[in-house]
Structures are given as structure tokens and as C-alpha cells.
């Protein structure tokens, strides 16, 4: 038996190997990953790991876990071609690895917009532990920091940089922060937080060029012609799914490797998960792609169940978190396009935002309110959701409603 071959040793690839063994899968498991070392988690890369450089703090499991569970880890190694007719994966070092079932867990890579001068020294991106190591080093040399992109990763990094005394400017082309993922009320709340921390926020202006001195960054030019000075730049403007290998192998791809409700691709012997997979949203039926630990790990668990004969459609409620300074933003549900939002501010400063589309509750955002976030996840499972009238009640308690 060839067993399961997983391409990608990130969050989802690791979870799939672990869950397969948990579910009693006894055939071989091979993981192929192009990053060196053991599988690790990415969330700390823009948070704690920027300050604390110990790799063991981000590793998902020690080496002994893989040995004990008979999980073969080929890293660093790159899958370069899939031969579907013979169920083989070709690797960069010239090997061919057979599979009974193949799983794409190839994740995503950072978008690289063609901004003139972007190849200057001291322009960084942030996706891997090696990227964070380079950024940490640059922060010891440069004190004026420019972040291009006011999304989760850019703002998390900005919060760390400003906390160690750096002068930080965030430039965001959209008219508000984290606009793709959160409500306008929550964007506004975070704008105030970052300004209080001392970060300069410039929204509604794009970066049209990176200015250099002897090949090294000295600032950026904005779409209105103005200039922001800085010694280093973090480019954090989103990601693109790693789908090329699947596409060349003839699988259906459209902003992600297209999968069905069981995470299967157009080939019955191949599945895909996490950042690289475009899957049917259980709530709306729309094809979506999520970039979150939750999606990667829940997809992995669902595939492990499928491969051990316990198939059931994927129907997890999405959730996400982002730590920025002393604020933990948590999002239950998924909302990209909403027509109403209801914000509640507690006297102790906790904040909740309920987001709706045509009366249907799609997502609940909270700050520093872990209990209410958990309750919101339950609430989103309730077909009835919650009404504006219930929310308007002064004593509204999301935990009570979710019970």
C-alpha cells in the first residue's frame, strides 16, 4: 500500500497526518514540505515569535511525534509534478512517491504587486519563520518602519514594532482597515487603537513607488504624490493560493483548488485543504477560500474522517482571531458582504458587532471577550440566529441565547 501523501507540511498538512493516526489509519503517511525543519504554526510569526526567537515555541510537535506515529517527513523537499494516471508525485530531488490518496496542503504565498523599486534592500514580506527572523533582525537596525497593507498581518506587525519604540506608518489603499474581513464599526475601533499606540495610519492611498538610496529603502511615494520616509518596508497586501501544481495536473482551479463538500477535487483520489482550497460555504453554498487556522485544521479533520470511512459533509462554523497589542479580535462566522451591522459596547469596554445579510446573522466580532465569542459560534449554528429586536434589548446576553 502507498497510503496517503500530503504536499505541504504547514498547519493543515500536519493536522491531517495527526488526525489520520487518531482516526486509526494504519497505512503509510508521507509528508512533503519545501520548508526546512518540523511543521510549525504561522500565527505567532507576526506576534510573539517576532520578539521571542525560539523555534521550539512555534513547532506543532517534536520530532519524536512523527517517529512514534510512523509519519514520514520529507523536508526540505518540493513536489514538482503529479502523474495522476500512475498515482505518483515527482519531487525536486528526482524521487517518485506513490499514493493511494493525495492531499494538496500547499497553502498560499504572499502577493507581490509590481510596485517600482519594490526589489530594494530592506523590503520584506512575512509568511515563513525565516521571514520573521529577517524582520526581527531588520528591526534592530531600522527605527522608521513602513507597512504597506492595513490587514491583519500588517497591523499585528505594526503593533509589535511600535511597542518596541519604532516609528511606524501603515499605508492602506482601501478606505478603512481590514476592510475585506471585518465590519466598519470594528475597523473604526481598531483605527483608534493603533493611533493611540502611536502608529500613523494613512488610508485611501496606494503606494506607487519605493524610494531608494544606494539600493536601500528610504521611503515610499503615495498615490497623491506625497512621500513617507522609512528605513524598512513590510509588504503585507494579501496572498495567492498555491494551485499551480494542481492546475498543471489538470484539476479544476478557480481562486483555489476547487473541492466539494467532502474536500475532494475533480479527481476522486485527490483532496485539498486550507489556504489553497476553494470549498462550498455550508451556509451560503458559495465557493469560498479562507485563510485561517480553523479552516486548515477542520478541513484536515474532515479529510481524515473521509479516508477512514466516516465521511460526512464539511459544515464547521468558521472562526478567526487576530492579536493586536492588548486586543484580541475574534470573529465567529464568515461575512464578506453584509447589509446591516449591530454594535454593542459594554460598560467595561468589551465590544461586539453582529453582521447581517438580508436579516440572516452571518458573523459576530468581539474584542477581549472569549466567552461571548464561543457563545456566538453556538448561536451561528442556530437556524433562527438572532433578531435586531433581541439585540436591542438592554440586557441582551449572547451566552444566554446560545444555550
Contact positions vs ligand FAD (CB under 6 A): 7-13, 32-35, 42-43, 45-46, 78-79, 105-107, 126-127, 153, 242, 245, 274-276, 291-294, 296, 320-322
Residue 338 CB-half CA count within 13 A: 24
Closer CB to ligand FAD, residue 205 or residue 240? 240
As a whole number of angstroms, the distance between CA 278 and CA 209 comes to: 33
As a whole number of angstroms, the distance between CA 12 and CA 280 comes to: 18
As a whole number of angstroms, the distance between CA 43 and CA 211 comes to: 30
Q: What's the closest the beta carbon of residue 99 comes to ligand FAD, in angstroms?
A: 14
Point out the residue whose Cβ comes nearest to ligand FAD: 10
Find out whether the peptide bond into 76 is cis, omega within 30 degrees of 0: yes
As a whole number of angstroms, the distance between CA 240 and CA 228 comes to: 27
Q: What's the closest the beta carbon of residue 39 comes to ligand FAD, in angstroms?
A: 8
CB 373 within 8 A of CB 366: yes
Closer CB to ligand FAD, residue 77 or residue 341? 77
Which residues, 6 or more positions from 125, have their beta carbon under 8 angstroms from its beta carbon?
110, 112, 131, 234, 235, 236
As a whole number of angstroms, the distance between CA 257 and CA 133 comes to: 31
Q: What's the closest the beta carbon of residue 396 comes to ligand FAD, in angstroms?
A: 27
Q: Single out the residue of 238, 336, 322 nearest to residue 283, CA to CA.
A: 336
- Burial of 277: CB neighbours in 10 Å, binned 0-12, 13-18, 19+: buried
Q: What's the closest the beta carbon of residue 358 comes to ligand FAD, in angstroms?
A: 27
CB 231 within 8 A of CB 144: yes
Q: What's the closest the beta carbon of residue 76 comes to ligand FAD, in angstroms?
A: 8
Q: What's the closest the beta carbon of residue 300 comes to ligand FAD, in angstroms?
A: 8
Q: What's the closest the beta carbon of residue 327 comes to ligand FAD, in angstroms?
A: 12
Closer CB to ligand FAD, residue 172 or residue 342? 172
**Backbone region of residue 215 per phi and psi (left: phi > 0; alpha: psi in -120 to 50; beta: other values):** left
- Can you tell me which residue has the cell 459596547? 345
Amino acid at each position: 500500500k502507498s497510503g496517503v501523501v500530503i504536499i505541504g507540511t504547514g498547519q493543515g498538512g500536519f493536522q491531517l497526518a495527526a488526525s489520520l493516526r487518531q482516526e486509526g489509519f494504519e497505512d503509510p503517511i508521507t509528508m512533503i514540505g519545501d520548508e526546512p525543519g518540523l511543521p510549525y504554526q504561522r500565527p505567532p510569526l507576526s506576534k510573539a515569535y517576532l520578539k521571542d526567537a525560539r523555534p521550539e515555541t512555534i513547532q506543532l510537535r517534536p520530532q519524536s511525534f512523527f517517529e512514534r506515529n510512523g509519519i514520514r517527513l520529507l523536508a526540505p523537499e518540493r513536489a514538482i509534478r503529479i502523474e495522476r494516471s500512475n498515482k505518483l508525485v515527482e519531487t525536486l530531488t528526482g524521487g517518485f512517491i506513490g499514493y493511494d490518496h493525495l492531499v494538496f496542503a500547499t497553502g498560499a504565498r504572499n502577493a507581490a504587486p509590481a510596485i517600482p523599486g519594490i526589489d530594494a534592500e530592506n523590503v520584506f514580506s512575512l509568511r515563513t519563520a525565516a521571514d520573521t527572523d529577517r524582520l526581527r533582525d531588520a528591526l534592530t537596525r531600522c527605527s522608521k518602519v513602513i507597512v504597506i497593507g492595513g490587514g491583519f498581518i500588517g497591523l499585528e506587525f505594526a503593533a509589535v514594532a511600535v511597542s518596541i519604540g519604532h516609528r511606524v506608518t501603515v499605508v492602506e489603499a482601501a478606505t478603512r482597515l481590514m476592510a475585506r474581513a471585518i465590519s466598519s464599526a470594528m475597523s473604526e475601533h481598531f483605527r483608534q487603537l493603533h493611533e493611540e499606540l502611536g502608529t500613523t495610519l494613512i488610508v485611501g492611498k496606494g503606494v506607487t513607488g519605493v524610494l531608494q538610496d544606494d539600493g536601500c529603502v528610504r521611503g515610499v511615494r503615495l498615490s497623491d504624490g506625497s512621500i513617507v520616509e522609512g528605513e524598512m518596508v513590510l509588504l503585507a497586501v494579501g496572498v495567492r493560493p498555491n494551485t499551480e501544481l494542481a492546475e498543471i495536473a489538470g484539476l479544476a482551479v478557480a481562486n483555489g483548488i476547487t473541492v466539494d463538500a467532502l474536500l475532494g477535487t475533480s479527481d476522486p483520489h485527490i483532496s485539498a485543504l486550507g489556504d489553497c482550497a476553494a470549498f462550498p460555504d455550508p451556509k451560503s453554498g458559495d465557493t469560498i477560500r479562507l485563510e485561517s487556522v480553523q479552516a486548515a485544521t477542520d478541513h484536515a479533520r474532515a479529510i481524515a474522517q473521509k479516508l477512514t470511512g466516516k465521511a460526512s459533509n464539511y459544515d464547521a462554523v468558521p472562526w478567526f482571531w487576530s492579536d493586536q497589542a492588548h486586543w484580541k479580535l475574534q470573529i465567529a462566522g464568515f461575512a464578506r458582504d453584509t447589509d446591516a451591522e449591530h454594535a454593542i459596547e459594554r460598560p467595561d469596554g468589551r465590544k461586539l458587532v453582529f453582521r447581517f445579510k438580508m436579516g440572516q446573522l452571518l458573523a459576530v466580532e468581539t474584542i477581549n471577550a472569549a466567552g461571548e465569542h464561543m457563545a456566538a459560534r453556538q448561536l451561528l449554528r442556530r437556524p433562527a440566529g438572532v433578531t435586531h429586536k433581541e439585540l436591542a434589548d438592554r440586557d441582551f446576553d449572547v451566552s444566554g441565547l446560545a444555550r
